[in-house]
């Protein structure tokens, strides 16, 4: 039996629980219950459209979620147990998510790009009992990997492990997810009591500064608030049509407001497998999309495409949220004139805190700041290295506490001691300053991570993998600037005496370690020695400056 989740979570203090409940931030209801209430109010409204042409009304979606909750139970998956979700952006993602929320089964939000290394870690760390995958996607056989993983887990623990597969090619032994998420066979309904609103609803993955991503346990109360309040601040109503084109398991398209916020407001969710502009624009036109969320790299591609081909297909678009990485002010100023929609900057994190520019903010605020906290009960501090508050306008480290920022990572006591202060403030690792109006500007970060187009990559994880090459004496992974993605992974390597190291070898090493491809280094700099700080740590800042300088010199040389 997997360990009960509560053994490894850090609860909010009782006084905060009382305060958040009394102030109405925590509604005291499970997400599945809240979504059923929305469905019962207008069961005939369209809730979901997906790129395969499937459309579901609120009534159909809620009935399928109930039926699927029952089928999960019939498979022997009990409330509180964990299931790894690695589905693409499809209707099955939404039905399975709602079924889990209804049944109290906790989805672990893996990314489609994750491979054996990440999935094995998640399976072990979350003690998952099942995994949901597509049969294949982008030429990768997810089912094969999931079955291998299941065999490994069974061999190691003797536990039964379920593989749920969405697609035409479901192997014997796997569970057909389309059937599981299909319409109810008889009368709809799932009679088990809903989970407590204080229970964990989903596990999100942290951007990660350590070896592997940390798990963030988000409760029904905190995540429902996160989704509901985000919907409000983004102007979502029952008339809104929201396009999901980022990987749906990310907090941003999942609940900021994302799928959950839009469904809680009675709007319509449209699922697309990728944000590729030609298809995204055609979908926006066909579905009358009003809202969407993208990362700056995607915003850049959309702006280019719209500037070249016109924004005629985007007439319905009202709000484009951009977040996940710093949006350059120059790009921000283009959004309204080129896409014809209002920009909303979102500076958020899977750990909780969300900042939004408001729809009625002056253009300068929208284009040059990353907004302000979502909730009046969000607490913000900007401090120096000694945790002393710095004055407004001065950059410092951002700390936060609040009703949807959990007090610790799951099962990570040692790490929590570093990532949280004694009185519960989360150290975001972001360097920010606060304007006199109270908006935050992200000025950098103090965490050892690379933000590749919104995907966070832990430098330590890359370094550990590169160290496995016998030819490597020392390695440091750093962000190198990139016009398209913002940042990419660059590794500095000191080879062992007489040895040579190539980027191809390093990438082959990553390949054989079976980690997600977005983490593969894209540049190697071989050096005789690394830069060190006075306290004997590798001087990453100096290395970042060095690679930026090299790139600039190359560009100048090309011109
Ligand atoms: C979102 O969540 P995560 O958990 O993938 O990454 C969080 C980190 C932040 O700590 C910050 O370093 C960076 O991503 N970030 C931004 C940013 N939004 C996120 N840096 C600069 N400007 C921004 N607008 O990335 C996320 C979660 C919910 C909503 C939006 C983004």
Q: pLDDT (tens digit, 9 = 90+) per residue, 182-220?
A: 999 987 689 999 999 999 999 999 987 777 899 999 999
**What's the token pair of residue 336?**
């309204």
Other Cβ atoms less than 10 A from the Cβ of 135: the count is 18
Q: How far is CA 445 from CA 117, 239, 285, in A?
A: 27, 38, 38
pTM here? 0.97
With 0-12 CB in 10 A as exposed, 13-18 as middle and 19+ as buried, what is 51?
middle
d(CA 273, CA 267): 20
List, in order, residues 6 or more apart from 134 with CB less than 8 Å away: 86, 87, 88, 90, 112, 142, 143, 165, 166, 167
Ligand 1 atom 16, closest CA: 325
Lookup result for tokens 């952006």: 89
d(CA 440, CA 400): 13
Q: How far is CA 269 from CA 107, 193, 241, in A?
A: 20, 27, 6
Tens-place pLDDT, residues 125-181: 999 999 999 999 989 999 999 999 999 988 888 888 999 999 999 999 999 999 999
Ligand 1 mean position, distance from CA 252 (Å): 9
Q: What is the DSSP string of 119-135?
A: HHHHHHHTT-SEEEEES
Q: Is the CB of 251 under 6 A from ligand 1?
A: yes
**What's the token pair of residue 57?**
């009304």
What is the rounded end-to-end Cα distance, in angstroms, of the chain? 63
Atom of ligand 1 nearest to the CA of 370: 24
Ligand 1 mean position, distance from CA 448 (Å): 14
d(CA 109, CA 143): 17
Instruction: Output 301-306 pairs: Cβ under 8 A, ≥24 positions apart.
Output: 301/275, 301/277, 302/275, 302/277, 302/339, 303/331, 303/334, 303/335, 303/338, 303/339, 304/277, 305/277, 305/278, 305/281, 306/277, 306/281, 306/338, 306/339
Ligand 1 mean position, distance from CA 161 (Å): 34
d(CA 466, CA 462): 6
Ligand 1 atom 24, closest CA: 347
Q: Is the CB of 350 under 6 A from ligand 1?
A: yes
- Residues 51, 283 contacting (CB under 8 angstroms): yes
Q: What is the DSSP string of 56-119?
A: EEHHHHHHHHHHHHHHHHHTTPPTT-EEEE---SSHHHHHHHHHHHHHT-EEEE--TT--HHHH
Q: Is the CB of 126 under 6 A from ligand 1?
A: no
From the list 159, 178, 160, 158, the residue with the least C-alpha distance to 168 is 178
- Residues 427, 396 contacting (CB under 8 angstroms): no
With 0-12 CB in 10 A as exposed, 13-18 as middle and 19+ as buried, what is 373?
buried
Query: Is the bond preceding 363 in cis, omega lying within 30 degrees of 0?
Result: no
Tens-place pLDDT, residues 375-409: 999 999 999 999 999 999 999 999 999 999 999 99
Mutate to test the pocket of ligand 1, among 347, 440, 443 (most ligand atoms within 8 A of CB): 347
Ligand 1 mean position, distance from CA 492 (Å): 26
Q: Interior CA angle at 245 toward 293 and 338, to 5°?
A: 55
d(CA 463, CA 500): 17
- Residues 335, 356 contacting (CB under 8 angstroms): no
Ligand 1 mean position, distance from CA 456 (Å): 9
From the list 256, 64, 76, the residue with the least C-alpha distance to 159 is 76
Ligand 1 mean position, distance from CA 209 (Å): 13
Radius of gyration of the chain from Cα atoms?
Answer: 23
Q: What's the number of CA atoms in the CB half-sphere (13 Å) around residue 280?
A: 26
Ligand 1 mean position, distance from CA 428 (Å): 10
**What's the token pair of residue 455?**
């995907």
User: What pLDDT was estimated at residue 113?
Assistant: 96
Ligand 1 atom 14, closest CA: 324
* DSSP character at residue 153: H
Q: Is the CB of 214 under 6 A from ligand 1?
A: no
Q: Is the CB of 428 under 6 A from ligand 1?
A: yes
Q: Is the CB of 321 under 6 A from ligand 1?
A: no
Ligand 1 atom 8, closest CA: 349
DSSP bridge pairs for 476: 492
Q: Is the CB of 323 under 6 A from ligand 1?
A: yes
CA max distance for the chain:
73
| pLDDT tens series, the chain, 559 aa | 789 999 999 999 999 999 999 999 999 999 999 999 999 999 999 999 998 889 999 999 999 999 999 999 999 999 999 999 999 999 999 999 999 999 999 999 999 999 999 999 999 999 999 999 999 998 999 999 999 999 998 888 888 899 999 999 999 999 999 999 999 998 768 999 999 999 999 999 998 777 789 999 999 999 999 999 999 999 999 999 999 999 999 999 999 999 999 999 999 999 999 999 999 999 999 999 999 999 999 999 999 999 999 889 999 999 999 999 999 999 999 999 999 999 999 999 999 999 999 999 999 999 999 999 999 999 999 999 999 999 999 999 999 999 999 999 999 999 999 999 999 999 999 999 999 999 999 999 999 999 999 999 999 999 999 999 999 999 999 999 999 999 999 999 999 999 999 999 999 999 999 999 999 999 999 999 999 999 999 999 999 999 999 999 998 986 5
Note the helical H segments in 454-502. 459-466
Q: Interior CA angle at 279 toward 277 and 281, to 5°?
A: 65
Quick one: how far is CA 137 from the chain centroid? 19
Q: Is the CB of 426 under 6 A from ligand 1?
A: no
Reduced to 3 states (helix: H, G, I; strand: E, B; else coil), residue 6 is helix
Q: Is the CB of 326 under 6 A from ligand 1?
A: yes
List, in order, residues 6 or more apart from 525 with CB less than 8 Å away: 490, 491, 492, 493, 546, 547, 550
* DSSP character at residue 174: S
Ligand 1 mean position, distance from CA 451 (Å): 9
- Residues 371, 434 contacting (CB under 8 angstroms): no
Mean of per-residue pLDDT scores for the chain: 96
Ligand 1 atom 9, closest CA: 349
Reduced to 3 states (helix: H, G, I; strand: E, B; else coil), residue 397 is strand
* DSSP character at residue 517: G
List, in order, residues 6 or more apart from 395 with CB less than 8 Å away: 382, 431, 432, 433, 443, 444
Ligand 1 mean position, distance from CA 238 (Å): 27
């Amino acid at each position: 039996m997997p360990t009960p989740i509560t053994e490894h979570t850090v609860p909010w203090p009782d006084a905060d629980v009382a305060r958040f409940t009394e102030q109405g931030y925590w509604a005291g209801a499970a997400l599945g219950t809240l979504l059923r209430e929305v469905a019962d109010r207008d069961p005939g409204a369209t809730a979901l459209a997906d790129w395969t042409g499937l459309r579901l009304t609120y009534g159909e979606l809620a009935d399928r979620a109930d039926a699927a909750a029952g089928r999960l139970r019939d498979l022997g998956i009990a409330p509180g147990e964990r299931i790894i979700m690695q589905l693409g952006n499809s209707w099955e993602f939404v039905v399975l998510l709602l079924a889990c929320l209804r049944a109290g089964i906790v989805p672990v939000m893996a990314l489609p790009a994750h491979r054996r290394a990440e999935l094995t870690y998640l399976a072990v760390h979350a003690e998952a009992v099942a995994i949901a995958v597509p049969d294949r996607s982008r030429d990768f056989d997810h089912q094969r990997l999931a079955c291998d993983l299941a065999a490994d887990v069974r061999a190691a623990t003797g536990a039964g492990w379920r593989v749920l597969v969405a697609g035409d090619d479901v192997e014997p032994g796997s569970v057909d997810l389309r059937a599981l998420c299909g319409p109810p066979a008889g009368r709809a309904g799932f009679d088990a009591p809903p989970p407590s609103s204080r229970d964990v609803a989903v596990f999100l993955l942290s951007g990660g500064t350590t070896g592997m991503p940390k798990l963030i346990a988000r409760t029904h109360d905190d995540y429902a608030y996160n989704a509901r309040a985000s919907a409000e601040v983004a102007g979502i109503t029952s008339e809104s049509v929201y396009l999901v084109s980022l990987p749906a398991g990310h907090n941003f398209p999942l609940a900021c407001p994302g799928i959950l916020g839009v469904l809680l407001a009675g709007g319509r969710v449209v699922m697309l497998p990728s944000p590729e502009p030609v298809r995204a624009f055609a979908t926006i036109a066909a579905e009358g999309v009003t809202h969407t969320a993208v990362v700056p790299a995607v915003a850049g591609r959309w702006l280019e495409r719209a500037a070249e081909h016109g924004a005629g297909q985007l007439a319905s678009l009202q709000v484009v949220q951009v977040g996940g990485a710093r949006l350059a002010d120059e790009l921000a100023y283009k959004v309204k004139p080129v896409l014809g929609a209002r920009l909303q900057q979102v500076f958020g994190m899977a750990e909780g805190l969300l900042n939004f520019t408001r729809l009625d903010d002056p253009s300068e605020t929208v284009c040059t700041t990353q907004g302000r906290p979502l909730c009046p009960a969000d607490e913000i501090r900007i401090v120096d290295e000694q945790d002393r508050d710095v004055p407004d306008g001065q950059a410092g480290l951002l700390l936060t506490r609040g009703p949807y920022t959990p007090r610790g990572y799951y099962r990570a006591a040692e790490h929590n001691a570093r990532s949280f202060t004694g009185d519960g403030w989360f150290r975001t690792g972001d360097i920010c300053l606060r304007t006199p109006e109270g908006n935050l500007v992200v000025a950098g970060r103090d965490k050892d991570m690379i933000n590749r187009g919104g995907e966070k990559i832990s430098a330590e994880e890359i370094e550990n993998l590169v160290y496995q090459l016998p030819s490597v004496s020392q390695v440091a992974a750093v962000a190198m600037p990139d016009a398209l993605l913002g940042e990419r992974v660059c590794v500095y390597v000191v080879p062992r005496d007489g040895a040579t190291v190539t980027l191809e070898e390093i990438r082959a090493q990553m390949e054989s370690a079976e980690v997600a491809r977005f983490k593969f280094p894209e540049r190697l700099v071989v050096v005789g020695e690394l830069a060190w700080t006075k306290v004997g740590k590798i001087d990453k800042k100096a290395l970042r400056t060095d690679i930026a300088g090299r790139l600039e010199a190359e560009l100048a040389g090309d011109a």
